[in-house]
Amino acid sequence: MTALGAAITETILLQYGHSAFLSRLSDPFWFQAFGAVMGMDWHSSGITTSVLGALKRGLNPRAHELGLFICGGRGKHSQRTPDELRAVAAKEGFDADTLVRTSRLTARVDNNAIADGFQLYLHSFVLARNGEWAVVQQGLNDATGMARRYHWHSAAVKSFTLQPHTGIVGESQGEIVNLVDAAAEPAQGALLTMARESPERTLAEARRYVAPRHHDVRAGDVDLKRLGAVLALAHEREIGDFASLLLVEKLGPRTLQSMALIAEVVHGTPARFSDPARFSFAHGGKDGHPFPVPLKTYDESIGVLRGALDGAKLGDRDKIDGLARLQRFTQAVERRLAPEANFDAALAHERAISKSLGGRTVFDGRKRGKGPAQLELF
């Protein structure tokens, strides 16, 4: 995950720049799709910790080269965020006090100004050399065992007290008090005068993205037309041969399937990530949903990306630009040729070839216990 996440990030930085990557990171649905492509369980709260942890491990050793710095993390790592930001500021010439204040403000808003029953346990602050930042935080509701994730991007923050988030995601658990929602300005005013009189209303229900609680991937979770295009690309020979040519690689059908989904994560527009479960058809899920992670394909995907990046650094952009061509071609197939995917058949095929591709899950080699906690969102 560290190698693949770093390669995808570097590709986005090379093609679109730091601002575009931070914008993607602050999009809850893109984030979920990104984690699914990396082989994480599409539905568990662990996707947040794992994705951010993998990026921190993969990118921070090259932070000065890439101009991207990832601070904080889960638990005790979140408490180190101020010190990590000060260290970055000292090397890069940022105002340390401003960065630390920003980090603390985002945490206080999500912990205190949004009364939703969730206590933050993860805080990641991603800073670019151009001064832009993104924050991803996650909270846990001890009573329900569910998690909620909060996304920020500096470009979208006009005020820390007025609709500052790019997204808040988690299963709806009833009415909450969100004092930074646009509708809560009267409540903010009431709080400022609380010494004289108690506020009579602090009403605002946060916008929430809601999706099913089941953990396994089902046909209803996936846009079958979009998945159908990817499967046609991989398994219909003439289409697949042309797609491989666009990427300037001689790829087998299974790797081409993964690369088509990776290309969409790199180049797709926000509307393309409304069904993040579809991206688990790139590399499966570590819990075996929808199928075990095909390690051979995973390694080949990393190899293709690394080869494209290395070539681009030497001035040969054919392979790196091939990702964009592949993404455009996949959408053309979707519009003109591809039928809806036969979800059950696609799933059966993946499970049938799993062993030949080195399919693995976290349960291999140990007794299967209870499934992962249903902590997250979709």
Q: What is the pLDDT of residues 149-198, one digit of tens each?
A: 999 999 999 988 788 899 988 777 767 777 677 666 566 565 555 434 43
CB-based contact 221:211 (threshold 8 Å): yes
pLDDT of residue 373: 37
pLDDT (0 to 100) of residue 188: 56
Q: Are strands 133-141 and 146-153 parallel, antiparallel or unpaired?
A: antiparallel
pLDDT for position 193: 54
pLDDT of residue 124: 97
| Confidence (pLDDT) at 200 | 43
Q: Which residues of the chain have pLDDT under 50?
A: 194-210, 368-378
How high is the pLDDT of residue 372? 38
pLDDT for residue 178: 73
